[in-house]
């Protein structure tokens, strides 16, 4: 069932190009308004700010964001590997289109490039395992899996799309079922882990897949060796490119301790592979020893990193930021309309994988049995951290593509229109379970209006969120340049659209600054004054129409945020003309007369 030669490369490319064009047009239509208004959110906005600084002269190996927690700034845990493509687009197009239009173009080109890469890897993998028709359907399912497509749409400049593309490349490596394929999988996982540590558990799951193949047949042992060698070597190479001489070990990013761990495990497993006649029990024990040795080396080099990188967060940061970032929380904390559709789709993919494991030759059956274990592991990772559900989605595309092709082939043999329509409707419902939620949402009565806390009157449902409007934020440029004590959610957009600095954003390496910002919003006015003035911040900003501000107000009704939402302003905050009405409110923080430790 493998692709025998290159005769199908042309038809395959045309099919995949058609799928890409369809999904690109669909996502572009949904994001066009945000594109034209330069409305980037959260990490996407901050990623663009990082790239602007890089083009503006900040060194490649200097990952500080100096406009957060000034003057020392925050050493970001992001990878320059993601900045590179964005910077390349801007450098090429800015002389031709101007800075603003070049940035809009980058918001389209870079995400759609990752979409194209993901489609290409998935389609090629499916063509190796099935046929051209199934390859097209497998690629098309990318557009049905919301945790996947969301990260690959225009405006998504952050790193998650590249991680999905890396996962798809690793899946292609599995489909090749050769040592070269294992090397491809290892290099892809190295890229993904360098971009973000959240892919390390997935890289371990891929290692488990190759270990199962070794246990099935000792002749396959070189696949695990090749995978681990490529993973370790790729990590060292990517680290040298992205971080160079920066050898400080952070617990939330690949560093010397992680490199030592992966290098040791790769060398140890290579040594074990020299003995092909080991019993499964002895082999399992030796692989366990290799892993334990790597952990021991890691613990010796970075004992502080044995726990979660978020374990040292200030309690207020943990309670009012970390625990409220839903994409980093488990599946059972998500809303039903968000969690249920992908879980149904991946459950269907697991069922299809089970069917595939009962068909074909012995080698094919074993492949799909091992694949089922890998898909299950990725599902567990997604259940624990919802953001990782996209990895399971990528793995689900192959069995889902086969399922669609199989059902449609059966459908062609049905006689009569009614059976065909019923079968087709059932296929649509199981592949697109979100349709049910969409219909329910349409049938639900809409409120006549939504009361906006702190506003002068009711906000009509569907009205524009002014705090997300780039033109509104740009009005802050009329104020003298200073440090804004802002809500975390608005911080990146402020950096993107204004010349100001911000006290903190939702990035944990700025933990003390985050605690100061939260304590300002949550404390009573007098305590908030002491915190804000001790930082030397110039302005305080609040948006009355976003959930972050509402959460603070509900949690601490007597805190500063709640009082400001009610229109109560303490004497140490001076209202600024033009920012006293509407959702975007700004005050000047009046000094207490004592010298600031930050000035």
Position of tokens 């976003």? 546
Mean pLDDT over 125-153 rounds to 93
- Sign of the CA dihedral with 536 first, then 541, 546, and 551 last: positive
User: Residue 440's pLDDT is what?
Assistant: 54
Please write the tens of the pLDDT for every residue from 455-490. Answer: 322 222 233 446 777 888 889 999 999 999 999 988
Query: H/E element holding 43?
Result: helix 42-55
What's the fold here for domain 466-589?
Rossmann fold (3.40.50)
Mean pLDDT over 202-214 rounds to 93
Buried b (16+ CB within 10 A) or exposed e, 532-546: bbebbbbbbbbbbbb
Most confident of 235-239, 415-419, 437-441: 235-239
Closest among 44, 294, 76, 264 to 152, alpha carbons compared: 44
Please write the tens of the pLDDT for every residue from 534-544. Answer: 888 999 999 88
User: Residue 291's pLDDT is what?
Assistant: 92
Paired tokens of 569: 């302003």
Mean pLDDT over 225-233 rounds to 95
Strands (E), 439-559: 449-450, 459-460, 483-485, 501-502, 539-543
Using alpha carbons only, what angle is made at residue 397 by residues 190 and 435, rounded to the nearest 5 degrees? 125
Backbone angles phi, psi at 153, to 5 degrees: -90, 160
How many residues appear in the chain? Answer: 599
How far is it, in rounded angstroms, from Cα 456 to Cα 584? 13
Please write the tens of the pLDDT for every residue from 562-584. Answer: 999 888 899 899 999 888 888 88
Mean pLDDT over 433-449 rounds to 54
What percent of the chain has pLDDT above 90?
A: 59
Please, are residues 323 and 551 in contact by the beta-carbon 8 Å criterion?
no
Burial level of 221, CB count in 10 A (0-12/13-18/19+)?
buried
For residue 193, is pLDDT > 80?
A: yes
Residue 514's pLDDT band (cuts 50, 70, 90): very high
How far is it, in rounded angstroms, from Cα 320 to Cα 316? 6
DSSP 219: G
Instruction: Give the 3-state secondary structure of residue 103.
Output: helix
C-alpha distances (whole Å) from 293 to each of 195, 251, 266 are 25, 19, 11
In the chain, the largest separation of any two C-alpha atoms, in whole Å, equals 87
User: Residue 262's pLDDT is what?
Assistant: 96
Domain residues of the chain, as ranges?
6-311, 466-589
How far is it, in rounded angstroms, from Cα 185 to Cα 166? 8
Strands (E), 101-180: none
Closest among 498, 451, 504, 456 to 479, alpha carbons compared: 498
Please, are residues 186 and 177 in contact by the beta-carbon 8 Å criterion?
no
User: Residue 441's pLDDT is what?
Assistant: 52
Residue 439's pLDDT band (cuts 50, 70, 90): low
Paired tokens of 161: 């799309």
318 or 171, higher pLDDT? 171
Mean pLDDT over 73-93 rounds to 93
Q: Provide the CA 540 distance to its chain's centre, in angstroms.
A: 30
Residue 149's pLDDT band (cuts 50, 70, 90): very high
What percent of the chain has pLDDT above 70?
A: 91
Mean pLDDT over 360-389 rounds to 91
Burial level of 372, CB count in 10 A (0-12/13-18/19+)?
buried
For residue 597, is pLDDT > 50?
A: no
Please, are residues 155 and 204 in contact by the beta-carbon 8 Å criterion?
no
How far is it, in rounded angstroms, from Cα 411 to Cα 419? 8
Please, are residues 497 and 484 in contact by the beta-carbon 8 Å criterion?
no
Position of tokens 């289109």? 97
Which region among 45-49, 70-74, 408-412 has the lowest average model confidence (pLDDT)? 408-412
60 or 326, higher pLDDT? 60
Instruction: Give the 3-state secondary structure of residue 447.
Output: coil
Position of tokens 């959240």? 198
For residue 199, is pLDDT > 50?
A: yes
For residue 417, is pLDDT > 50?
A: yes
How far is it, in rounded angstroms, from Cα 289 to Cα 293? 6
Residue 307's pLDDT band (cuts 50, 70, 90): confident
- Mean of pLDDT over the chain: 86
User: Residue 437's pLDDT is what?
Assistant: 62
Mean pLDDT over 138-151 rounds to 93
Backbone angles phi, psi at 250, to 5 degrees: -95, 150
For residue 332, is pLDDT > 60?
A: yes
The C-alpha torsion from 377 through 274 and 180 to 298, rounded to 10°, is 50
Contacts (Cβ under 8 Å, ≥6 apart) of 225? 182, 266, 269, 270, 273
Please write the tens of the pLDDT for every residue from 343-363. Answer: 999 999 999 999 999 887 777
Name the β-bridge partners of 52. Answer: none
Please, are residues 341 and 428 in contact by the beta-carbon 8 Å criterion?
no
Please, are residues 152 and 107 in contact by the beta-carbon 8 Å criterion?
no
How far is it, in rounded angstroms, from Cα 515 to Cα 522? 10
């Amino acid at each position: 069932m493998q692709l025998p030669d290159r005769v199908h490369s042309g038809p395959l490319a045309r099919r995949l190009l058609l799928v890409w064009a369809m999904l690109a047009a669909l996502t572009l239509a949904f994001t066009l308004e945000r594109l034209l208004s330069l409305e980037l959110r959260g990490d996407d906005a901050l990623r663009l700010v990082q790239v602007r600084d890089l083009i503006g002269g900040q060194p490649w190996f200097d990952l500080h964001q100096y406009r957060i927690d000034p003057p020392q700034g925050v050493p970001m845990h992001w990878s320059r590997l993601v900045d590179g493509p964005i910077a390349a687009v801007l450098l090429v197009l800015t002389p031709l289109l101007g800075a603003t239009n070049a940035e809009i173009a980058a918001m389209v080109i870079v995400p759609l490039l990752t979409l194209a890469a993901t489609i290409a890897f998935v389609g090629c993998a499916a063509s190796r395992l099935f046929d051209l028709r199934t390859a097209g359907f497998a690629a098309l399912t990318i557009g049905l899996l919301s945790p996947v497509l969301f990260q690959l749409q225009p405006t998504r400049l952050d790193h998650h799309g590249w991680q999905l593309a890396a996962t798809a490349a690793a899946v292609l490596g599995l489909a090749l079922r050769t040592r070269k394929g294992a090397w491809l999988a290892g290099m892809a996982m190295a890229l993904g882990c360098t971009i973000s540590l959240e892919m390390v558990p997935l890289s371990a799951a891929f290692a488990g897949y190759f270990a199962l193949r070794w246990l099935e047949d000792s002749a396959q042992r070189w696949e695990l060796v090749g995978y681990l060698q490529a993973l370790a070597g790729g990590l060292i190479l990517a680290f040298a490119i992205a971080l160079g001489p920066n050898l400080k070990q952070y617990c939330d990013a690949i560093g010397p301790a992680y490199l030592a761990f992966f290098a040791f495990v790769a060398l140890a497993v290579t040594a074990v592979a020299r003995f092909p006649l080991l019993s499964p029990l002895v082999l399992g024990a030796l692989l366990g020893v290799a892993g334990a040795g790597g952990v021991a080396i890691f613990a010796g080099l970075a004992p502080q990193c044995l726990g979660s990188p978020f374990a040292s967060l200030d309690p207020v940061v943990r309670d009012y930021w970390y625990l409220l970032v839903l994409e980093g929380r488990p599946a059972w904390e998500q809303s039903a309309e968000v969690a249920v559709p992908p879980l149904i789709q991946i459950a269907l993919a697991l069922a299809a994988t089970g069917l595939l494991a009962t068909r074909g030759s012995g080698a094919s059956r074993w492949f799909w049995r091992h694949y089922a274990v890998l898909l299950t592991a990725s599902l567990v990772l997604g259940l624990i951290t919802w953001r990782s559900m996209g990895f399971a989605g990528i793995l689900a595309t192959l069995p889902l593509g086969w399922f669609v092709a199989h059902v449609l082939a059966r459908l062609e043999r049905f006689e009569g229109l009614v059976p065909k329509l019923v079968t087709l409707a059932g296929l649509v419902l199981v592949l697109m379970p979100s349709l049910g939620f969409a219909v329910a949402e349409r049938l639900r009565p809409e409120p006549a209006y939504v009361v906006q806390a702190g506003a002068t009157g009711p906000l009509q449902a569907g009205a524009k969120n002014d705090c997300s409007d780039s033109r509104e934020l740009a009005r802050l440029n009329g104020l003298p340049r200073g440090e804004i004590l802002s809500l975390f959610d608005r911080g990146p957009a402020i950096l993107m659209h204004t010349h100001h600095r911000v006290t903190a954003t939702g990035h944990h390496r700025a933990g003390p600054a985050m605690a100061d910002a939260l304590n300002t919003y949550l404390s009573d006015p007098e305590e908030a004054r002491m915190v804000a003035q001790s930082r030397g911040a110039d302005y305080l900003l609040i948006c009355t129409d976003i959930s972050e501000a509402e959460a603070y107000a509900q949690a601490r009704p007597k805190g500063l945020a709640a009082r400001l939402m009610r229109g109560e302003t303490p004497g140490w905050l001076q209202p600024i003309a033009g920012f006293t009405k509407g959702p975007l409110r700004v005050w000047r923080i009046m000094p207490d007369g004592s010298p600031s430790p930050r000035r």
